[in-house]
Chains A and B, each alone.
Chain A
Amino acid sequence: GNSVTQMEGPVTLSEEAFLTINCTYTATGYPSLFWYVQYPGEGLQLLLKATKADDKGSNKGFEATYRKETTSFHLEKGSVQVSDSAVYFCALSDDKIIFGKGTRLHILP
């Protein structure tokens, strides 16, 4: 069946550092891929998405590229801010959405 694997957290970085959160997937079809973010005390928000191979999703300085050959959708940001501290979920959807376990990100000032 379909599944999503993302790197274990927590990830702790200093402000302005480069961020990568790894995500790989297993799917029988051609899923769409997503990153969701959950700030403390809130629900999830869609951060970015990609619907086919080689698509790049981007939003708020975050980027992720749909890599079919490596079945990956790694999240990157060039310079993180304290306000980026949150839990990030990689997800795929085929007939229904499947979330990864989440990666907690702490950004230190």
Chain B
Amino acid sequence: DTEVTQTPKHLVMGMTNKKSLKCEQHMGHRAMYWYKQKAKKPPELMFVYSYEKLSINESVPSRFSPECPNSSLLNLHLHALQPEDSALYLCASSQDGPNSANTGELFFGEGSRLTVL
């Protein structure tokens, strides 16, 4: 099994809603990532969890709240989002965390396309 699975594939929410994006991998990877990708742009790193601990937060607004319940699961809780937060949210995993020999070998899910009204 070499997949990273993200749910839901599409999400529409209002600015007062609370919703969550979910990501799962069963490759035994120890690092998991959230990226945000706007149209025709490269992915922008949001958060990195390494061995289930938050190791990188790229100054993301607090309306985005990550959670790593175990080494296979990664959630992104969304609250009070703005229309400009509409984007494709990509989850990725890697065998080891940042600063490891295979940093950069990321396995991506297909993404959750979020629309904030």
Instruction: Name A's B-contacting residues (CB within 8 A).
Output: 31-32, 34, 36, 41-46, 49, 89, 91-97, 99-102, 104
Contacts and interface: CB of A to CB of B under 8 A. Distances in A.
Contacts of B110: 41-43
B66 interface: no
B108 interface: yes
Interface of B: 4, 6, 40-43, 45, 48, 56, 90, 92, 98-99, 103-111
Contacts, number: 55
Contacts of A95: 98-99, 103
A99 B103 contact: no
Nearest to A97: B104
B92 to A, nearest CB: 8
10 contacts: A31-B104, A32-B104, A34-B104, A34-B105, A42-B111, A43-B110, A92-B104, A93-B104, A95-B99, A96-B56
A99 B43 contact: yes
B42 A43 contact: no
Nearest to B105: A46
A46 B107 CA distance: 7
Given A42-B110, A43-B109, A43-B111, A96 B43 contact: no
B105 A49 contact: yes
A96 B105 contact: no
B59 to A, nearest CB: 14
B106 A46 contact: yes
Nearest to A31: B104
Contacts of B98: 95-96
B100 to A, nearest CB: 10
A100 B45 CA distance: 13
A42 to B, nearest CB: 5
B99 A44 contact: no
Nearest to B43: A99
